[in-house]
Structure 1
């Protein structure tokens, strides 16, 4: 029965669920009447129950004492995923946390749909780790085991851009060639398809590990972290001369998935020592505040908000760092945004070219480029596509629901799933 298969878009930044109800996609309101929820968790310091989604974000912003975690998908396939750490008053692995997230998602979906879901069709990027085949293979194993532990008896996977093609192929010219550009939180995925009815004919899919969290990382390092001491210098304890401030802590603070692991006694002691030897101690004092008061996620949210404002061309856009120091903020505009992200354009274009090569399709044959995924709204992405496909029309589908709609539709055509994606 189709209603027994739950479609799940477990994303780096957001998660959605749906099923096929009498041939119609039915998205499930999985939190507060919303069709999507942030892929985030919060563990209260008093060892209370885990919060997920918007409730987790509200707990963080509200100043509750505890551990906030986001971008869990990005650590699939790594040793960190199975490494026990003290989180929320007990030793847990990220695998256990993802499983608990999926257990809650399954329970909410079943309660709203009124039916049990024994099977799941999950989206997945074309490549979890584009440069590491060992991690790549392990990532799907990790996610499959989490779904199994959450109570699903049969687990299938479909590439996320191919799912988006199921939902949006009608935007392309009938019988023509289209390209899905799916830029999510952690990966960039591409699918070349021929528009057909009732479902598209997939020609090729390709992906790289590059997404919105990488954009945030670059912007944080270029705009925010210098005000905390990134790029500054330290006086030697003995002898003359200066040393650069180590980069590692700034890199971790600028990485969504690593922020929770910065707040250790060793890190705090290291920051105090660096402040004592800093040429610009006021900057390192801010870093000490961030680490001591655990403000990394607040800065990450502020960076993300500044990125969005600058991308929209809003005058006077700034990154608000007032949580660290009253009235502290950083200007961000189109020029500084483009400068921070300059290295990503060639990588995106190369990935699109490779997808065309795999499909044996020339750029001139692409009649439509369809953007999905939240980070596809970045001007850089549209500009690269326009340069490569000047004759193609550009369409912006619903950034957060195209994939989940396509996954639900695909549950009605299981023979349409590519062997490489199941």
Structure 2
């Protein structure tokens, strides 16, 4: 009987699994779905915390409350342990993430019919950056969350290693491969080699870039100018003008920072900016977003526009009618490519550094395996195709490969030791 649950706690989506009948089995999180959006919504009227699709629906239905996404990116930061009033309690992000993980545990136990005392958690190669002092704290924070969720202990396995286990790489013995795992918050790379004893990881490396960063760049370039970014504010105490402060627009374009903009102080500041703005219609839209707490609605619209443009639709737009009737931001394919070019360069550097760490040349890579929802971006596949033109490029189950691998690794964790 499995007692260890493999959990892929992701920036955008989460999944959990264990081995059943000799194969990895992913827990059903909703009818017909084995992934759970890593989102929470504090419903002020019902006085309860919603998770996953119900949280997303509550936001889009305009229910009064507080929405949070990209919780994983808070790990290791100073705000992780700050208390804030939510519903009837003062909570930290440890409490919030622990509640989410506790619900994953509950659903897994209900389906399996027995408890899971131990967790094998995926972890990105880097949470924040190589040699970043927050790395150790991020893992410590995540460990604390699992223990608070009711697990007796937790072990960690780098997400690319889990993906390699599940990828079918063993079908090509003697091959050298590269795992490209582009998630919501991080991009992880692993060079591996297959042999008679399984998969050997030659090097792991990662950069703190993911799908939410792609969204942020798109939002800053295409949407924030419609809300007053780059406009001028008249000096209240005399002649002259100043540019609108960038900070508020950067935060509004950043998933995990949006909830912190809904304060009386920020709303008063924006109200003053509207009165002094040389383009009051644009700045007024910013006021509307804050007044009606539409920041995440805008972020979802950006995400959908990105998906449409990535599919090759040159007429793709970011629909912002919730802010102002008929308001859209065009996102043609060429514009998307230009916006994401700096991220493509970062991915190329990350891969080059990984190859150097492994002592492997690009021409020695036989197979590139893509994992993570954001690996579906054409920018990612184009970049890797240019770097490895002669390799086989294959897509695993991009949304669940890490969870599959964690389930298999968790089964080995449960296997009795033979002496």
**Which TM-score band (shorter chain)?**
over 0.9
Tell me, yes or no, if the aligned pair for 2:170 and 2:199 is still in contact at 8 Å. no
1:357 equivalent in structure 2: 356
1:387 equivalent in structure 2: 386
Of stretches 190-199 and 235-244 in structure 1, the one that deviates more from structure 2 is: 190-199
Tell me, yes or no, if the aligned pair for 1:45 and 1:89 is still in contact at 8 Å. no
1:16 equivalent in structure 2: 15
Please report how far the alpha carbon of residue 340 of structure 1 lies from its aligned counterpart in structure 2 after TM superposition: 1.2
1:109 equivalent in structure 2: 108
Structure 1 CA distance for aligned equivalents of residues 323 and 196 of structure 2: 55
Please report how far the alpha carbon of residue 171 of structure 1 lies from its aligned counterpart in structure 2 after TM superposition: 7.6
Structure 2 CA distance for aligned equivalents of residues 239 and 294 of structure 1: 33
Please report how far the alpha carbon of residue 241 of structure 1 lies from its aligned counterpart in structure 2 after TM superposition: 1.7
Tell me, yes or no, if the aligned pair for 2:314 and 2:331 is still in contact at 8 Å. no
Gaps of 5+ in 1: 417-422
1:50-72 deviation line (CA, Å, top 9, x unaligned): 11001110111111110010000
1:79 equivalent in structure 2: 78
Answering whether residue 291 of structure 2 is matched by residue 292 of structure 1, we say: yes
Please report how far the alpha carbon of residue 170 of structure 1 lies from its aligned counterpart in structure 2 after TM superposition: 2.9
1:146-185 deviation line (CA, Å, top 9, x unaligned): 1011111121100001100000143874311010000000
Q: Report how many residues are paired.
A: 415
Structure 2 CA distance for aligned equivalents of residues 85 and 52 of structure 1: 19
Structure 2 CA distance for aligned equivalents of residues 89 and 306 of structure 1: 37
Structure 1 CA distance for aligned equivalents of residues 359 and 401 of structure 2: 26
Please report how far the alpha carbon of residue 412 of structure 1 lies from its aligned counterpart in structure 2 after TM superposition: 3.1
Answering whether residue 244 of structure 2 is matched by residue 252 of structure 1, we say: no
Question: Could you tell me the TM-score, scaled by structure 1's length?
Answer: 0.95
1:404 equivalent in structure 2: 403
- SS at structure 2 position matched to 1:133: coil
Question: Could you tell me the TM-score, scaled by structure 2's length?
Answer: 0.96
- SS at structure 1 position matched to 2:341: coil
Compared CA separation, residues 334 and 22, structure 1 to 2 (3 A): same
Answering whether residue 69 of structure 2 is matched by residue 59 of structure 1, we say: no
Tell me, yes or no, if the aligned pair for 2:18 and 2:411 is still in contact at 8 Å. no
Structure 1 CA distance for aligned equivalents of residues 118 and 142 of structure 2: 14
Please report how far the alpha carbon of residue 415 of structure 1 lies from its aligned counterpart in structure 2 after TM superposition: 11
Tell me, yes or no, if the aligned pair for 2:125 and 2:158 is still in contact at 8 Å. yes
1:368-407 deviation line (CA, Å, top 9, x unaligned): 1011101111111112211211111111111111100011
Please report how far the alpha carbon of residue 89 of structure 1 lies from its aligned counterpart in structure 2 after TM superposition: 4.5
- SS at structure 1 position matched to 2:103: helix
Compared CA separation, residues 339 and 172, structure 1 to 2 (3 A): farther
1:242 equivalent in structure 2: 241
2:346 equivalent in structure 1: 347
1:250-272 deviation line (CA, Å, top 9, x unaligned): 11110000111110000000000
- SS at structure 2 position matched to 1:335: helix
Tell me, yes or no, if the aligned pair for 1:169 and 1:178 is still in contact at 8 Å. no
Tell me, yes or no, if the aligned pair for 2:10 and 2:184 is still in contact at 8 Å. yes
Tell me, yes or no, if the aligned pair for 1:12 and 1:184 is still in contact at 8 Å. yes
1:311-348 deviation line (CA, Å, top 9, x unaligned): 11114110000000011111101111112112111110
2:156 equivalent in structure 1: 157
Tell me, yes or no, if the aligned pair for 1:172 and 1:368 is still in contact at 8 Å. no
